[in-house]
Chain A
Amino acid sequence: MSGFKLKKRKQVATAFDVNVTPMLDLFSVLIIFLLATSVFSATGETRIEVPFLSSQPPPKQEELDKTPEKTVNITIDSKTVKYQQATTASSAIKDEIEVPLTEEGLDKIQAKIYDIRKENPKFDKVTVFTQAEVSYESLVMVLDTVRELKPGRAPIPFPADYKMPVGVDPSNLVTKVVLGNVIFAD
């Protein structure tokens, strides 16, 4: 509130001036406190699972045949990325594309996974196989494609009974990414 004049019939000048200095002091202290204690995190995380060797027998093929589910495997090479889709009922490849390891190429792979999610909102797992010479940067690029939706694609909500894994953004395209070729590394 700055000093101002109140116009009355007889032009009597009355000035009000609020002392803002204490408020300014308080604001300064508050700003210093907030700047000192805030956490501006520029580091993110993407969750990965590694297959675990289990002594339990695998599920019987007859059971898998009853309710076949789509499986998606992605193989990363130093220059290309291969997308392969099969089902639990049969290991035969139903759909396959190979694209260059670029934003445009990866967009085509995301479109494929997006279509599967639209068809089956419970679909949540992609297995990634990475060749030895592929850099961490390229691997993260592919993981981004698998998880984070590109602009223009609306998130597909998971069903109400779906158990969301801890630490995963619910707007992700898939929630589980498994690194397939870890065991028996060369």
Chain B
Amino acid sequence: MAGVDVGGKESFSLNLYPMLDVFSILIVFLLMNFSVSGESAEVSANLELPMSSIKVSLDSAASVAITKNEIVLQGGVVIPLTPNSQDVVEAYKKDGQGAIRKAYDEFKKLKAQNETLKNRQKNLGLSNSDVSTLVMQSDKTIPYRIIKRVLASAQQAEFISWKFAVQKRDVN
């Protein structure tokens, strides 16, 4: 801050150049990292994803979240887990092949919706969006026993492609 005596009156002028420098650097940084690649996928708050060195960012898609207490499907359907996340509650299991009845029914519904969407896109001459892939968001402590049940349920509803959500080590 500089004081200058002009005609007997004191005036103050603030040196804004350092601030301007900082702002310029900040703008350049933000522009370099600016991404308009659509919406980022939402991650459930009740789970901790494992760390990974994967560089590909998670796209939004229909997702399944497995927390320590429950499995939450895209439509809001909740499947409770037994204490210590050992398995799904017995009543929800499907006979044979290890699938979860409720999850299987939900995936079937989703598959039917996707087929309708695909047909509409085809009729309108639009390019097909990738709706056949599901996102798995699982807490890092969840045993594969439960993950496998979800995968088997989806597989029987003809979903065979998955994106496993992870926490990136290098954020970009």
Residues of A at the B interface (CB closer than 8 Å) are 2, 20-21, 23-24, 27-28, 30-31, 34-35, 37-52, 130-137, 139-141, 143-144, 147-148, 166-169, 179, 181-186
Contact = CB atoms under 8 A, between A and B. Distances in A.
User: By CB atoms of chain A within 10 A, which of B56, B98, B130, B140 has the most?
Assistant: B56
A185 B148 contact: yes
Contacts of B145: 132-133, 185-186
A50 B50 CA distance: 21
A34 B34 contact: yes
B116 interface: no
Nearest to A132: B145
Contacts of A132: 143-145, 148
**Lowest 4 A-B CB distances belong to which pairs?**
A185-B98, A137-B140, A34-B30, A137-B50
Contacts of A179: 151
26 contacts: A24-B23, A34-B27, A39-B35, A39-B36, A39-B37, A40-B171, A41-B57, A43-B58, A43-B168, A44-B55, A44-B57, A45-B58, A45-B163, A45-B164, A47-B162, A49-B161, A133-B143, A133-B145, A135-B142, A136-B138, A140-B50, A148-B52, A167-B133, A183-B155, A185-B98, A186-B145
B156 to A, nearest CB: 9
B167 interface: yes
B54 interface: yes
A44 to B, nearest CB: 4
B161 A47 contact: yes
B89 interface: no
Contacts of A144: 52-54
A40 B130 contact: no
A30 B40 CA distance: 22
B35 A182 contact: no
A45 B165 contact: yes
Contacts of B159: 50
Interface stretch (B12-20, B69-77, B103-111, B119-127): B12-20
Contact of A182 (B36, B55, B148, B167): B148
A143 B23 contact: no
A184 B36 contact: no
Contacts of A182: 148, 151-152, 155
B96 to A, nearest CB: 8
A2 B15 CA distance: 9
B30 A183 contact: no
A37 B36 contact: yes
A130 to B, nearest CB: 5
B148 to A, nearest CB: 4
Nearest to B154: A50
Given A45-B54, A45-B135, A185-B148, A20 B171 contact: no
A166 B66 CA distance: 25
Contacts of B143: 132-136
A140 B166 contact: yes
A181 B148 contact: yes
